[in-house]
Amino acid sequence: MNKILSNTKGDRWIWLIVILLSVLSMLAVYSSTGTLAYKRGVGVESILMKHMAMIFGGIALMYISHKLDYRYYAGISKLLMIVTIPLLLYTLAFGATINNASRWINIPGTGLSFQTSDMAKLALITYLARLLSRKQEHIKSVKESFVPIMGSVCVVFALIAWANMSTALMLFGVSILLLIIGRISVKQIGIVCIGGALIVSAVMFLGPRRHLYMTRIHTFMHPELADPAKKYQGDHAKIAIASGGILGKGPGNSTERNYLPEAFSDEIYAIIVEEYGLIGGIALIGIYLFLLYRCMKIVTKAPKAFGALLAAGLSFSLTIQAFANMAVAVGLGPVTGVPLPLVSMGGTSILFTSVAFGIILSVSRHIDENEELKKSGEEGGETKGNNKVIVGDLTLA
């Protein structure tokens, strides 16, 4: 154990945040899965043990991915994109339907399902970071930079949006932020936004889930006119939050967990506020904000564009997803299927979120190692500036 701890590098605060969120996740999932356990005919402890296995598996993946030099993710991103697009197409055609959405692929012989949009998020962000960092010399060129960048964003966005609009919109927003940081011109970003708007319009009016999207928007905009059954989940989430008060009802004392259909996943923030009160809800918001702050420190210290863009894109994705989930719980947005990162019960969501944390920590580890080398060089009176590593067409210090 001591050897493993000594080998955990990178920002210590991010490691602490992961541990805090994991502990909170186990407490919240154990408290909110009573109804699910009853429906499945199993004990709550059985569901908790599976969830804990996913959490520990995620931490193991985070440890492995943080030990890999972040610069290798540039090459991995190409492979991920090659695999992701066919998987998204396969999901649309043959994916398993869960909760009226075809977002999953069943893994034969395991009883497990795989949500391809989780891989797509990681693939697109790492691939965009690679493209933007490698094309800085020709960043204003339409042929050299804009076409491949816009093509990758719009293709992945369209394939995800057809079955999962909320995830697609968040990923599109993260992509636009990366384009801004990557010095893409305002005109070109505007063209990407127009392309995204056209895709959204096509999916909203022609897609297989158009009726569901329209119903959710109408329910959010005009709750007084909506069918009570359609706003059932949102109403009970608000009841949970309102009944929590300042200090909450205490761990395990939620009553709305028996009414909320996705208390352990989409609406887990409402259960947390009900049990831990306004203080607990604000504390959780503070944890995600502090995570963003620590990640931005990594971005500003990253010596190369790829590391900075990689850390920025992944941290934006995690925090935007967290605040989208919490906004839905408090009634600031229409109901979606977005989980709370590292807190909601899930399978592939936890695993890919953990990998994203690991990649951010890999960038942080590289920064720390560079600073140690610089410090040792200054103390020894040596110059380390001429030591370089060539990766592809990039010269990396």
Per-residue pLDDT of 111-137, as tens digits, reads: 667 788 888 999 999 999 998 988 877
Q: What is the DSSP string of 303-345?
A: SSHHHHHHHHHHHHHHHHHHHHHHHHHTTSS----PPPTTTS-
Q: Is the pLDDT of residue 96 over 50?
A: yes
Residue 360 main-chain phi, psi, to 5 deg: -60, -45
Q: Which amino acid appears at position 287 of this protein?
A: I
Range of the domain at 165: 2-376+383-396
Q: What is the Cα–Cα distance from 63 to 197, expressed in whole angstroms?
A: 38
pLDDT at 148: 84
The more confident residue out of 144 and 294 is 294
Q: Using CA of residue 340, residue 341, residue 342, residue 346, what is the dihedral sign?
A: positive
The 10 Å CB-count burial string (b at 16+, else e) for 280-295 is: bbeebeebbeebbebb
Among 152, 163, 164, 165, which residue's Cα sits nearest to residue 195? 152
SS3 (DSSP) at 394: strand
pLDDT at residue 265, rounded to an integer: 85
* Among 2-6, 277-281, 296-300, the least confident range: 2-6
pLDDT of amino acid 346 = 78
pLDDT above 90 (res 220): no
What is d(CA 83, CA 65) in angstroms, rounded to the nearest whole number? 19
Q: What pLDDT, on a 0 to 100 scale, did the predictor assign at position 21? A: 95
Structure tokens at 124: 């697109």
Mean pLDDT of 274-290: 95
| Nearest in space to 274 (alpha carbons), one of 260, 262, 256 | 256
pTM of the model: 0.88
Q: Tens of pLDDT along 304-340? A: 889 999 999 999 999 999 999 999 999 888 888 788 9
- What does the alpha-carbon distance between residue 2 and residue 196 come to, in Å, rounded to a whole number? 49
Rounded-to-integer distance, Cα 71 and Cα 69, Å: 5
CA 193 from chain centre, in angstroms, equals: 21
Of 103, 27, 7, nearest in space to 342 by CA: 27
| Cβ 360 vs Cβ 14: under 8 Å | yes
Q: What is the mean pLDDT of residues 358-383?
A: 79
**Is the CB of residue 302 less than 8 Å from the CB of residue 11?**
no
Q: Is 234 within 8 Å of 219 (Cβ atoms)?
A: yes
pLDDT at 101 over 50: yes
Q: What pLDDT, on the 0 to 100 scale, is given for residue 391?
A: 37
Whole-angstrom distance, CA of residue 25 vs CA of residue 305: 34
DSSP 102: E
Distance CA 310, CA 265 (A): 27
Separation in Å, CA 322 to CA 60, 144, 171, 297: 22, 35, 13, 20
Backbone angles phi, psi at 197, to 5 degrees: -65, -40
Distances in Å between the Cα of 395 and the Cα atoms of 186, 253, 255, 359, 373 are 28, 57, 58, 20, 18
CB 33 within 8 A of CB 264: yes
- State the average pLDDT for the chain: 84
Largest CA distance in the chain: 75
Q: What is the dihedral of CA 109, 63, 287, 249, to 10 degrees?
A: 50
Report the number of distinct structural domains present in the chain: 1
User: What pLDDT band is residue 100 in, cutting at 50, 70 and 90?
Assistant: low
Q: What is the mean pLDDT of residues 203-228?
A: 80
Both structure tokens of 268: 């887990």
Can you tell me the distance from the alpha carbon of 277 to that of 248, in angstroms, rounded to the nearest whole number?
4
211 pLDDT more than 50? yes
Across the range 367-391, mean pLDDT stands at: 61
Q: What percent of the chain has pLDDT over 90?
A: 40
First-to-final CA distance of the chain? 32
Q: How far is CA 56 from CA 5, 17, 126, in A?
A: 15, 15, 24
- The pLDDT of residue 4 is 59
Tell me what pLDDT residue 304 has.
Answer: 85
Tokens of 213: 């999207």
pLDDT at 396 over 50: no
pLDDT band at 66 (very low <50, low <70, confident <90, very high): very high
